[in-house]
Amino acid sequence: MDHGTVIEATKAVVTMDVALPGIIWGWMITLNMWAKSIGTGVILVGAFLLYRHKKEAMPNLRWMMPLISFIALNVFLLFTLLDLHQPLRMVNIFLHPHWTSAITVGAWMASIFTGLVTLMLAISALERFPDFGRHSRVAKTLREKSYLYEKLFPFVVFLALPVTMYTAVIMAEASARELWTAPAELVQMLFAAFMVGSASLLLIADKWSAEARRDLAMILAISVALSFTMYMGEYFFSFKAAEVEATLAYIHSGGSYNTQFWAAMVLGYIIPFFIAKGSLKVENRTMMKFAAVTTLIGLYLAKSTWLEIPQMIPLS
């Protein structure tokens, strides 16, 4: 009996079964994570730039940073809500919180974070447009208390870290999906925030000093390089757990997500890395904007791939 026959003799095949669920968390959760990375990333990268450079070197950062964050966070919250099958019951998270759930903790933190960013946006926007709401009492009060912006900012930066990373804990709590492990996903979420945070700010950095733009290019290059390294580590060397190996088969050669995965790697990581690295020596603003756009697209594709492949294998 040759080896092939032995394998055939032990072959087990499902001959009758019910329809199993397909993708449970789909594009809305991908969009949710992607938008949250932008919302927290611009704050983290903005804080780094404000630490390194004078405000005058980045004239529009004070109000564009909370504006981009506010828009992205609202996209994130909107799609979080839309993905619920009972969205009106979202209030139960606040009325009946279950604190062992990262979903609960994340929802509370993200809500507080969005509230603080909204306040910062209101203050900075009223400074930016001094004629707006001149007779409004709310606007007047906010203008008088504009010092709050500086007071709130450290808390917002501190909160941006857990807000960007809590989805990794949700993924880790999803015990059924072995691909998602807390240590790797926490770090990947952080890199993702720095990637799209720097990419988003690159799109509004035309009037910034060359040094500030150079820092943005450096953050982009480092974050995509490290994140890409982690993806490659998982791609090539995650062969210890049978379930992880079965999951990764979807992105390996011949897998149904192979093209999407490599498109994500090329657009989101390889192209931006070489452009950003080149821009550290000789700046090319057009190419940097191109890299920023490909980073945003690539990260969405990467997150989509990583979210969906563990949902492809049957659990029972």
Identify which of residues 106 and 272 has a Cβ nearer to other proteins in the complex: 106
Distances (CA, A) of 74 to 27, 110, 128, 152, 186: 16, 10, 21, 19, 22
Q: Which stretch binds other proteins (CB under 8 A): 6-14, 57-65, 69-77, 111-119?
A: 6-14
4: contact with other proteins by CB under 8 A: no
Q: Which two tokens stand for residue 223?
A: 């974050």
Compose the 168-207 pattern: x for residues touching other proteins by CB under 8 A, - for all others.
Answer: --x--xxxxx------------------------------
85: contact with other proteins by CB under 8 A: yes
Q: Tell me if 47 sits within 8 A of 153, measured CB to CB.
A: yes
Q: Which stretch binds other proteins (CB under 8 A): 5-13, 60-68, 256-264, 282-290?
A: 5-13
93: contact with other proteins by CB under 8 A: yes
CA distance 291 to 281: 16
Only one residue has tokens 């072959």, namely: 11
# binding residues, other proteins (CB under 8 A): 51
Looking at residue 68, its amino acid is I
| Other Cβ atoms closer than 10 A to 231 | 22
CA distance 93 to 315: 28
Closest Cα to residue 249, out of 310, 315, 184? 310
Query: What is the nearest approach in angstroms of other proteins to the Cβ of residue 227?
Result: 23
83: contact with other proteins by CB under 8 A: yes
13: contact with other proteins by CB under 8 A: yes
Identify which of residues 177 and 213 has a Cβ nearer to other proteins in the complex: 177
Identify which of residues 51 and 239 has a Cβ nearer to other proteins in the complex: 239
Closest Cα to residue 83, out of 310, 315, 307, 309? 307
82: contact with other proteins by CB under 8 A: yes
CA distance 83 to 134: 39
19: contact with other proteins by CB under 8 A: yes
Query: What is the nearest approach in angstroms of other proteins to the Cβ of residue 181?
Result: 13
Q: Tell me if 274 sits within 8 A of 241, measured CB to CB.
A: no
Q: Which two tokens stand for residue 302?
A: 């990467």
138: contact with other proteins by CB under 8 A: no
Task: Name residues contacting other proteins, limited to 220-279 (CB under 8 A).
Answer: 242-243, 246
Contacting residues for 31 by C-beta, under 8 A, at least 6 apart: 75, 76, 79, 300
Query: What is the nearest approach in angstroms of other proteins to the Cβ of residue 243?
Result: 6
167: contact with other proteins by CB under 8 A: no
97: contact with other proteins by CB under 8 A: yes
Binding positions for other proteins, rule: CB under 8 A: 8-22, 24-25, 82-90, 92-93, 96-98, 100-104, 107, 170, 173-177, 242-243, 246, 311, 313-316
